[in-house]
């Protein structure tokens, strides 16, 4: 359950779908759409005056598409979680989204429950991957040596505790849940996560998952 209002921004060129999605999102508890745009450029421009927590991006848009928007968002506003909501469920689109900084990917024929689940997961773990698409695709992505957008090749020296926390992050446990499981304070877990990010070169939890898979720490 969300314990604070999550501010959503939407970039979607199909007016009817965008308005329908806004109505659905505003009907969820502690969720509020505060920004909408017809393309990526308009979306980025509006972010100068409006803060958001999660960006909902369509893939194919005029002026600036979803992939370019995600890449720019990751550079300019790294704290914003990026969720693609697209009509395309082909592997190439999902891989491209992840490579450009996406924290999650769902299709437009998904349920309201999945949208709500994705928001909760993004806010608690930093990423959302459903079993049917993203987890399998990330495994395939890494097996081909891709994924450089979120993970850079580097020699690391992770401690046993850091590896344990990494595995729990990959299992989508929240910071609070991890702190209870390893008998450490929330701030300690946040510090461990910060160390993992630095050592692996990952930008976010999605990057941590991809690093863990690439190094054989976890299997997807």
pLDDT of residue 170: 82
Look at residue 29 and tell me whether its pLDDT is greater than 50: yes
Instruction: Report the C-alpha gap between 105 and 134 in whole angstroms.
Output: 7
The pTM score is 0.69
pLDDT of residue 217: 80
- Percent of the chain at pLDDT > 90 equals 53
pLDDT band at residue 185, thresholds of 50, 70 and 90? very high
The backbone torsions φ and ψ at residue 49, rounded to the nearest 5 degrees and listed phi first, read -115, -10
Report CA-CA distances (Å) from 43 to 31, 40, 47, 69, 121: 19, 5, 6, 8, 23
Chain segment 150-175, per-residue pLDDT in tens:
444 444 689 999 999 998 888 778 89
pLDDT of residue 28: 95
Multiple choice CATH, 6-128, 3.40.50.970, 1.10.10.10, 3.40.50.2300, 3.40.50.720: 3.40.50.2300
Chain segment 41-100, per-residue pLDDT in tens:
999 999 999 999 999 999 999 999 999 999 999 999 989 999 999 998 777 788 788 778
Which CATH fold topology does 149-214 show? Arc Repressor Mutant, subunit A (1.10.10)
pLDDT of residue 213: 73
pLDDT of residue 12: 97
pLDDT of residue 144: 55
Instruction: Report the C-alpha gap between 63 and 61 in whole angstroms.
Output: 7
Domains of the chain by residue range? 6-128, 149-214
Look at residue 139 and tell me whether its pLDDT is greater than 60: no
Q: Is residue 128 exposed (0-12), middle (13-18) or buried (19+ Cβ within 10 Å)?
A: buried
Instruction: Report the C-alpha gap between 75 and 23 in whole angstroms.
Output: 30
Chain segment 4-28, per-residue pLDDT in tens:
899 999 999 999 999 999 999 999 9
pLDDT of residue 76: 93
pLDDT of residue 66: 95
Chain segment 207-220, per-residue pLDDT in tens:
788 778 777 787 55
Instruction: Report the C-alpha gap between 50 and 101 in whole angstroms.
Output: 21
The backbone torsions φ and ψ at residue 55, rounded to the nearest 5 degrees and listed phi first, read -105, 120
Look at residue 102 and tell me whether its pLDDT is greater than 90: no
Residue 87 is encoded by which pair of tokens?
């009509």
Q: Is residue 211 exposed (0-12), middle (13-18) or buried (19+ Cβ within 10 Å)?
A: buried
């Amino acid at each position: 359950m969300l314990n604070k209002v999550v501010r959503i921004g939407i970039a979607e060129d199909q007016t009817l779908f965008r308005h329908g999605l806004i109505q659905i999102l505003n009907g969820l508890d502690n969720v509020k759409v505060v920004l909408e745009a017809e393309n990526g450029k308009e979306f980025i421009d509006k972010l100068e005056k409006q803060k958001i927590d999660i960006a909902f991006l369509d893939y194919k848009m005029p002026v600036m598409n979803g992939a370019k928007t995600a890449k720019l968002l990751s550079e300019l506003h790294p704290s914003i979680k990026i969720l693609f909501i697209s009509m395309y469920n082909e592997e190439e689109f999902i891989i491209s989204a992840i490579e450009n900084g996406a924290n999650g990917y769902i299709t437009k024929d998904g349920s309201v429950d999945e949208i709500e689940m994705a928001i909760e997961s993004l806010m608690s773990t930093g990423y959302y991957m459903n079993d049917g698409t993203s987890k399998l695709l990330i495994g395939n992505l890494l097996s081909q040596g891709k994924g450089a957008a979120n993970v850079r090749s580097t020699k690391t020296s992770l401690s046993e505790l850091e590896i344990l926390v990494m595995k729990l992050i990959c299992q989508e446990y929240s910071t609070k849940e991890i702190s209870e499981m390893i008998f450490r304070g929330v701030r300690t877990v946040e510090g461990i996560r910060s160390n993992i990010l630095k050592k692996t070169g990952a930008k976010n939890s999605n990057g941590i998952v991809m690093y863990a898979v690439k190094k054989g720490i976890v299997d997807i």
